[in-house]
């Protein structure tokens, strides 16, 4: 059976299908999986987080194409990165790197942009052909010259006077708010005046109660049991929030 190819984009199935068609013209011996087609438009950080979390569940040899690409057609490079037996393909804006670092020691190469490639859609004209080439057996190191890719830092929480300052890095379909914190604080926290119940899983909070838990992705997550934390607290990806330590104010 063939190579697994995953896709992560902010542009929906219409454009994605063209990428799949280009690959299928070259080989049908592939398994396509969509990690996401609805990353918030041009939100490279949110895409980088989703790719980092999801890619580790795929088998070695998987090719991951990630296209959240506000700089398409400008001088930003198109790259291919190998790490831990996985291959990552996409723009050099950092979207690939948290995933690549999570799996091993990344090595990168720059991809050629073919004459006639659309300046607005490298997904179809640069990244998909490169993925097809690799799926057919070409080694990433034969795809281009070595390259030092841009990194992307998901950041870390910062201790402040009354608690911890942290950044929203992802919001899922339930409105659960994922933070750039790899653990849940040991003490009781409050957000915008609301106590966050520390729980193992959503059902341990009361109905409509706000909670904080260690999400399945390994990051702290604020949720509302049966509701949307993003809506309740008015949060979007990129927002900085302060989790107030309840003991500080009592």
Residue number, 163 or 210, with CB nearest to a second copy: 210
| Shortest spacing between CB 162 and a second copy, in angstroms | 28
| Shortest spacing between CB 244 and a second copy, in angstroms | 24
| Shortest spacing between CB 28 and a second copy, in angstroms | 4
Pick from 85, 104, 119, 238 the residue near a second copy by CB under 8 A: 119
Residue 67: Cβ within 10 Å count: 26
Pick from 84, 147, 165, 202 the residue near a second copy by CB under 8 A: 202
Q: CA–CA separation, 209 vs 186, rounded Å?
A: 19
Hey, which residues does 32 pair with through a beta bridge?
Answer: 5
Cα distances (Å, whole numbers) of residue 84 to 21, 59, 99, 123:
28, 10, 10, 23
Could you tell me if 222 and 199 are in contact, meaning their C-beta atoms sit under 8 angstroms apart? Answer: no
Could you tell me if 198 and 188 are in contact, meaning their C-beta atoms sit under 8 angstroms apart? Answer: yes
**Binding footprint of a second copy, residue count (CB under 8 A):** 61
Tokens of 147: 């390259």
Pick from 121, 127, 219, 233 the residue near a second copy by CB under 8 A: 121
Residue 120 found at the interface with a second copy (CB under 8 A): yes
First-to-final CA distance of the chain: 61
Q: CA–CA separation, 184 vs 198, rounded Å?
A: 8
Residue 1 found at the interface with a second copy (CB under 8 A): yes
Q: What is the maximal distance between C-alpha atoms in the chain?
A: 65
Considering only the stretches 67-75, 139-147, 151-159, 237-245, report the one whose residues sit in contact with a second copy under the rule CB under 8 A.
Answer: 67-75
Q: CA–CA separation, 57 vs 165, rounded Å?
A: 30
Residue 85 found at the interface with a second copy (CB under 8 A): no
Residue 32 found at the interface with a second copy (CB under 8 A): yes
Of 219-238, which residues contact a second copy (CB under 8 A)?
221, 226
The site map against a second copy for 38-57 (x = CB under 8 A) is: x--xx-------x--xxx-x
Nearest CA among 180, 189, 175 for reference residue 236: 175
Q: CA–CA separation, 177 vs 92, rounded Å?
A: 27
Q: Which residues bind a second copy (CB under 8 A)?
A: 1-2, 4, 6, 10-15, 17-18, 20-22, 24-25, 28-29, 31-38, 41-42, 50, 53-55, 57-59, 62, 70-74, 118-121, 124-125, 172-174, 200-204, 213, 215-216, 221, 226
């Amino acid at each position: 059976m063939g190579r697994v190819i995953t896709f992560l984009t902010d542009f929906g199935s219409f454009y994605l299908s063209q990428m799949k068609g280009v690959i299928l013209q070259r080989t049908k011996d592939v398994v396509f999986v969509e990690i996401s087609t609805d990353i918030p438009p041009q939100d490279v950080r949110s895409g980088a987080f989703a790719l980092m979390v999801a890619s580790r569940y795929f088998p070695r040899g998987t090719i991951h194409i990630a296209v959240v690409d506000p700089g398409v057609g400008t001088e930003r490079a198109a790259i291919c990165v190998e790490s831990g037996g996985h291959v990552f393909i996409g723009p050099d804006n950092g979207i690939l790197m948290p995933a690549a670092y999570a799996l091993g020691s990344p090595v990168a190469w720059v991809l050629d942009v073919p004459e006639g490639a659309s300046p607005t859609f490298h997904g179809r004209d640069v990244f998909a052909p490169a993925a097809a080439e690799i799926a057919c057996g070409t080694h990433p190191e034969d795809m281009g010259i070595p390259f030092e890719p841009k990194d992307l830092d998901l950041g870390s929480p910062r201790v402040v006077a009354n608690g911890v300052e942290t950044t929203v890095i992802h919001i899922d379909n339930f409105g659960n708010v994922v933070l750039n914190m790899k653990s849940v604080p040991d003490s009781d926290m409050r957000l915008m005046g609301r106590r966050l119940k520390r729980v193992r899983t959503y059902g341990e909070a009361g109905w409509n109660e706000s909670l904080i838990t260690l999400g399945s992705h390994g990051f702290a997550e604020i949720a509302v049991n049966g509701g949307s934390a993003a809506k309740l607290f008015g949060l979007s990806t990129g927002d900085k929030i302060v989790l107030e330590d309840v003991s500080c104010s009592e």
